[in-house]
Amino acid sequence: MAKAQPVTHPYASPWVNEEIQLFRKTVKRFIQDEYVPHEARWREQHHVDPEAWTKAGEVGILLTDVPEEFGGGGGDYCHEAVVTEELCYAGVHFGHGVHSIAAHYILDYGTDDQKRYWLPQMATGELIGSIAMTEPVAGSDLQNIKTRAIRQGECLLINGSKTFITNGWHTNLIVLAVKTGEAAAGAKGISLVVVDTRGLQGYRVGRTLEKVGMHGQDTCELFFDDVRVPAANLLGGEEGRGFYQMMEQLPYERMGVGVGATATTEQAVAITIKHCKDRMAFGKTLMEFQNTRFKLAECKAQAHIMRVFLDNCIERLVAGKLDTPTAAMAKYWLTERECAIIDECVQLHGGYGYMMEYPITRMWADSRVQRIYAGTNEIMKELIARSL
């Protein structure tokens, strides 16, 4: 009598429909053909080539969730998630996520003319967006920024500096956090200004910062010395709205971090399973040792839980129902699990897990910052605690 085969029901993300599957194939093929062959060189030079942006624009993977009337792809956050996932699966660090965040600030708070002028150029990769909030003395403490913008007639005069700016090497369109009110005004004194840097006097890109990981993604210092921009570039049309605009947009940014954390973890577990099936020790594969199997079982189970939670958050974001505490939970918990699981995967690689030529090692180095940027995980806990 034939032995009954076990029935398996592989999990499929509920937001992935046929159209998303076709889009994923396009994205995966593009990344494998156009980005992966250059990834090692990009890590060496600490930034991607400028052509990486325009090629991404040509194939339609920039601003995928921005309406078509403004040059975007006309999709929703599911399309953005696919791009993020496929970049993570391929181990390519390309600042499309920050570019999209900058676009959403303009989409949600810009005038119709601003949206029709800037967003189509961002969709083609002609304009490369960045978010400039962090300063040497103000990381998560955004209320303490020192960069100032003083109104002079129809212009804003900007002085100050920013650090840890993703896309800083290439950026030519910056959503800049500045103080426009009195120093003691706190959150009410912060505004956001869009700075188009093309031919702009007084603007300067500083050194490319040497990071622990994510070497292919440029991170720079930016300097503003008597920079003049039109006062009309103030997002929202009035001063003092910046802090609240940032708080409204941060759930979108934190979801991007969560998507990357989950996809990277899934890839780390997959390559570690393969390594343990291939690697021999004491006359048998690593997978034949109970400790290896149990460790990988723990990693696989936790990665699956990460995916299910993430999928729920994506559906809520698309439906416009993702609240700030839940986004904070996603950013905090998914990145904590990412770092813990990848560390286990490094251990299972043995000495090879400490060699930068191995993908698992680069994942380990790249992932550490996930618990820091977009608001440290300690700040995430504070946001969650406020909702209790």
Active site residues: 253
* Lookup: tokens for 330: 């996603």
User: What is the Cα Rg of the chain in Å?
Assistant: 22
Is 95:131 a contact under the CB 8 Å cutoff? no
- Report the alpha-carbon distance of residue 328 to residue 331 in Å, rounded: 5
Which residue(s) pair with 149 in the sheet? 158
Largest CA distance in the chain: 89
Q: Is the dihedral of CA 326, 329, 331, 333 positive or negative?
A: negative
Which H or E run contains 59? helix 51-59
* Lookup: tokens for 138: 């103000």
* Lookup: tokens for 230: 């039109």
CA-based nearest residue to 160, from 140, 194, 191, 136: 136
H helices of 67-207, in order, are 77-90, 96-109, 112-124
Q: How far is CA 118 from CA 11, 30, 170, 316, in A?
A: 40, 25, 16, 28
